[in-house]
Amino acid sequence: MKDWAIERGATHFTHLFQPMTGLTAEKHDSFISPTGDGKAIVEFSGKELVQGEPDASSFPSGGLRATFEARGYTAWDPTSPAFILESPNGATLVIPTAFLSWTGEALDKKVPLLRSMEALSKQALRVLRLFGNKSAKRVITTCGVEQEYFLIDRNYHLLRPDLLNAGRSVFGASPPKGQELEDQYFGTIPERVIAYMADCEAQLYKLGVPVKTRHNEVAPSQYEIAPIFEDSNLATDHNMLVMEVLRNTAASYGLACYFHEKPFAGINGSGKHNNFSMGTDTGENLLNPGDNPHDNAQFLVFCVAVIRAVAKYPELLRVTVASAHNDHRLGANEAPPAIMSIFLGDMLQDIMEQVEKGPATSTIQGGTMEIGVSVLPKFPKDAGDRNRTSPFAFTGNKFEFRAVGGSQSVAGPNTVLNTIVAESLDFVATTLEAAVAAGKDLNKAIQDLLSSILKESKKVLFNGDGYSEEWHKEAANRGLPNHRNTVDSLPVIVRKDTAELFGKYKVYTEKELESRFNILCEGYVKTISVEAKLTAFMGRNQILPAAIRYQGQVAEAVNATKAAGVEPAGSLELLKNLAATVGEFTKAIHHLEHELGHEAAGTVHDHAKYFRDKVRLAMNAVRVLGDKLETLVADDVWPLPTYREMLFIK
């Protein structure tokens, strides 16, 4: 490994890990060791490959480690290939690793993910054995991440403290043109952007990331990149690399790149679609329905197991996508609602309805697309339409979990998905094994089992418009949970049944769950706190001075006009409006600063509640008035780049 790396210019190596910040961390060491006689040799020991010992106390541990209990280990993950990271003045051998505390708890996002993949493999194999499959040794969960992002000219980025520090604009009036013309999605990619994309893709190929798709997204200056799917562990590592390369390459093209879930109000934010399936080590996709799914018992079993998992654990799935950032998206009619439901499409929906009542006997076929123009080729048509509004949709031969936020790691969502599906497969395998042992016909046992699961789980199936008000009412009638914000969604993590579930499949210990709960509560508070402080700063030190200066100019104009013997009707009205708005704005900033200064008592969760109910609302109130001032103050006096400029100058 050392020779390979050095031949390619590497001078250093590093253990790359994913602490619970949701980012990656690395510490570099050189291959050079002094020999004591004034010389040095190049060496890389087995121990250095397998194990590292970074200080664990400076990463969030959610209470797992106190500051003085610093010892942490990184452990080589041989299932995620090492790679060489080139930089202008040298190269580094990067070794993907897991990150654990001295006491053995997972301090990262990789360890629980790997544990969940093992849990699922074990249960899925039991089911496969029932179908007579003796050759598969492992079942691998697969994942393909479609990543959305924004690109803004870097000059604007540097002039906006909010974008620079929080990745989100906390002020900005709606531009005259937003995304209403729907002229951006799949539009021609601007030249500077395509040059940037090609550069990123070339770098990603060198790192072994199989990127494939690129296009314009719905919002102005929004784009998407998607790789070919891989096993969930590798796909998660690679998504982190995709984000890093996109972020780091932007500056060379005079751009800034954002993954934030809502960088700009009033237009779509960024998410990532987490495509999920399960496959055997012999290459069989277990969620591939084939041509006649009604006849494909094995497919039906795996598909129904996923449906059962989502129906049984919607709150666990919901909490994996919870963050202060993602609260702006979920349920905002651009991303799926916070209600977890499944879209199957007409063909599968029909089959599941048949299965519920008795054995399924037919599959709706798509037929041929008749275009009515003889020069165009005919092509086979899908049996059902797509549905963008569903958080969890069956798309051909995989499920697509679409509620994940643009800046989030997909490790959490996949860890939970794998675990709840493992629990479902365990239930299925246990029931079928018992039935077969009791002499029941396997097919009969499957039919009975699937029918009973569907009766219970069908409440989660929904093919209609997930954005509509009717669905919110209907979902409430069906008893589906709807946690509209992060703070409401978090408590499930520390519930007893959650600890039992994750304990049973050895994915998270109770302590590890508690630490995640603490980190998520703290993360919520910190995010809103930073945004609120930026709002107060920009309001008081940038917007207010500009508005007052302009107010002075208008006052002078009013006086001069009067002195010239002309009635200053327009300027006087503007002056009154300005003075009144400046007054309200000042009060709103005071109020925000007051709310920020208040010491919240109670638990971390109480603290998060306080930030949701007080600080966040006070911050939003300041924004409304700041944005109103933007529409009143002269463009040449306004101190910040506007949405009109940032989003449309490409």
Pair 460, 341: CB distance under 8 Å: yes
Give SS3 for 549: helix
Stretch of 18-26, 269-277, 301-309, 452-460 lying at the interface with Mg ion (CB under 5 A) = 269-277
Nearest CA to 625 among 173, 281, 312, 211? 173
Closest CB to Mg ion among residues 145, 490: 145
Smallest distance, Mg ion to C-beta of residue 213, A: 10
Contacting residue, 143, 256, 453, 543, with ligand ADP by CB under 6 A? 143
SS3 assignment for 167-197: CCCCCCCCCCCCCCCCCCCCCCCCHHHHHHH
Strands 255-258 and 222-227: unpaired
What is the total count of residues that contact ligand ADP (CB under 6 A)? Answer: 16
Kindly report the backbone phi and psi dihedral angles of residue 137, in degrees, each rounded to the nearest multiple of 5, phi listed first. -105, -20
Mark 372-411 with x for binding to ligand ADP (rule: CB under 6 A) and - for no binding. -------------------------xx-------------
Contact flag: residue 168 with Mg ion (CB under 5 A): no
> Among ligand ADP, Mg ion, none, what does residue 285 contact (CB within 5–8 Å per kind)?
ligand ADP
Closest CB to Mg ion among residues 223, 253: 223
Contact flag: residue 117 with ligand ADP (CB under 6 A): no
Smallest distance, Mg ion to C-beta of residue 317, A: 17
Nearest CA to 512 among 97, 236, 107? 107
Kindly report the backbone phi and psi dihedral angles of residue 403, in degrees, each rounded to the nearest multiple of 5, phi listed first. -90, -5
Contact flag: residue 197 with ligand ADP (CB under 6 A): no
Pair 115, 512: CB distance under 8 Å: no
Give SS3 for 63: coil
Contact flag: residue 272 with ligand ADP (CB under 6 A): no
Mark 121-150 with x for binding to Mg ion (rule: CB under 5 A) and - for no binding. -------------------------x----
Smallest distance, Mg ion to C-beta of residue 386, A: 9
Give SS3 for 91: strand
Residue 26 to residue 606: CA distance in whole angstroms: 34
Q: Which residue is nearest to ligand ADP (CB)?
A: 144
Contact flag: residue 262 with Mg ion (CB under 5 A): no
Contact flag: residue 294 with Mg ion (CB under 5 A): no
Contact flag: residue 229 with ligand ADP (CB under 6 A): yes
Contacting residue, 15, 65, 168, 273, with Mg ion by CB under 5 A? 273
Pair 217, 184: CB distance under 8 Å: yes
Closest CB to ligand ADP among residues 146, 423: 146
Mark 146-185 with x for binding to ligand ADP (rule: CB under 6 A) and - for no binding. x---------------------------------------
Residue 319 to residue 261: CA distance in whole angstroms: 16
Closest CB to ligand ADP among residues 416, 544: 416
Residue 521 to residue 323: CA distance in whole angstroms: 9
Residue 287 to residue 298: CA distance in whole angstroms: 9
β-pair partners for 27: 15
SS3 assignment for 227-276: ECCEEHHHHHHHHHHHHHHHHHHHHHHCEEEECCCCCCCCCCCCEEEEEE
Stretch of 140-148, 299-307, 459-467, 581-589 lying at the interface with ligand ADP (CB under 6 A) = 140-148
Contact flag: residue 231 with ligand ADP (CB under 6 A): no
Contact flag: residue 328 with ligand ADP (CB under 6 A): no
Closest CB to Mg ion among residues 239, 249: 239
> Among Mg ion, ligand ADP, none, what does residue 228 contact (CB within 5–8 Å per kind)?
ligand ADP
Closest CB to Mg ion among residues 146, 315: 146
Contact flag: residue 282 with ligand ADP (CB under 6 A): no
Instruction: Tell which positions 440-499 bind ligand ADP, by CB under 6 A.
Output: none
> Among Mg ion, ligand ADP, none, what does residue 229 contact (CB within 5–8 Å per kind)?
ligand ADP
> 86: exposed, middle or buried (C-beta count within 10 Å: 0-12, 13-18, 19+)?
middle
Contacting residue, 275, 298, 486, 489, with ligand ADP by CB under 6 A? 275
Token pair of 55 as six digits: 């200080």
Closest CB to ligand ADP among residues 160, 273: 273
Angle at Cα 326 formed by Cα 320 and Cα 329, nearest 5°? 125
Contacting residue, 213, 252, 365, 452, with ligand ADP by CB under 6 A? 213
| Residues sharing a CB contact under 8 Å with residue 381, sequence separation 6 or more, in sequence order | 366, 367, 368, 369
By the criterion CB under 6 A, which residues form the site for ligand ADP? 142-144, 146, 213, 226-229, 273, 275-277, 285, 397-398
Contacting positions for Mg ion (CB under 5 A): 146, 273
